[in-house]
Amino acid sequence: MADAKITACLLGVVVAFLSCAEATNYTVGGSEGWNIPSSAGAYSDWASQHTFEVGDVLVFDFDSSNNDVADVTKEDYDACNTDSPFTVLSTSPANYSLDTAGDYYFLCTTAGHCSQGQKLAITVTEPPSGPTSSPPGSPPPPSPTTGATTSLSSVSSSLGVARLVLLMSILMGLLSQLFS
């Protein structure tokens, strides 16, 4: 019985380890959701508490009758200009997939909401499990640290494989002891 428990624990460790590489859904603003925040810096604070990687998804949860979410340029983000968004998502919850590395800017296009702090800027990096290949001909992501990010990704990827091999050897050793 004890052996079965140990095996179950070990399997749990492996599952937790492997799930590190999976995409994450982030509900913007946490339980507060996406609306005029109580403090103007609320979404900056929220963003600073998370690390966003390619493949992750932002979930905007808001009252659709009075809000939406639009991705915009940095200039429009800074100026709260709602006239030329790339896309506007007006049905909640709105999922926004972070498909490429770079900087992303969002705001609510309802008059006055952005200037009261309903705006979000985030930086998305390549996941450590390896860079996703960009389609040929597409411009590189607007990041001044592309070179450094890529080499770091390679290092992290090698480390990840080494960790996995180590973990598996430990696991095999323990299992062979259990069943000997």
| Cβ at position 102, least distance to Cu ion in Å | 24
- The answer to whether 118 contacts Cu ion (rule: CB under 5 A) is yes
Instruction: Return d(Cα 137, Cα 41) in angstroms, integer.
Output: 38
Report the number of secondary-structure helices (H) and strands (E) in the chain: 4, 8
Q: What's the distance, CA 24 to chain centroid?
A: 6
Per-residue binder mask for Cu ion (CB under 5 A), 28-67, x = binder:
---------------------------------------x
**Site stretch for Cu ion (CB under 5 A), options 69-77, 115-123, 135-143, 170-178:** 115-123
Find out whether 125 and 101 touch, Cβ atoms under 8 Å: yes
| Cβ at position 65, least distance to Cu ion in Å | 10
| Residue 90 identity | S
Dihedral pair phi/psi, residue 110, rounded to 5° = -65, 135
Q: Which residues, 6 or more positions from 46, have their beta carbon under 8 angstroms from its beta carbon?
A: 28, 29, 30, 120
Q: Looking at beta carbons only, is 112 or 142 nearer to Cu ion?
A: 112
Q: At what angle do helices 2-18 and 146-178 cross, to 10 degrees?
A: 170
| Cβ at position 110, least distance to Cu ion in Å | 4
| Cβ at position 63, least distance to Cu ion in Å | 8
- The answer to whether 108 contacts Cu ion (rule: CB under 5 A) is yes
- The answer to whether 110 contacts Cu ion (rule: CB under 5 A) is yes
Q: Looking at beta carbons only, is 101 or 107 nearer to Cu ion?
A: 107
- For binding to Cu ion (CB under 5 A), which residues are involved? 67, 108, 110, 113, 118
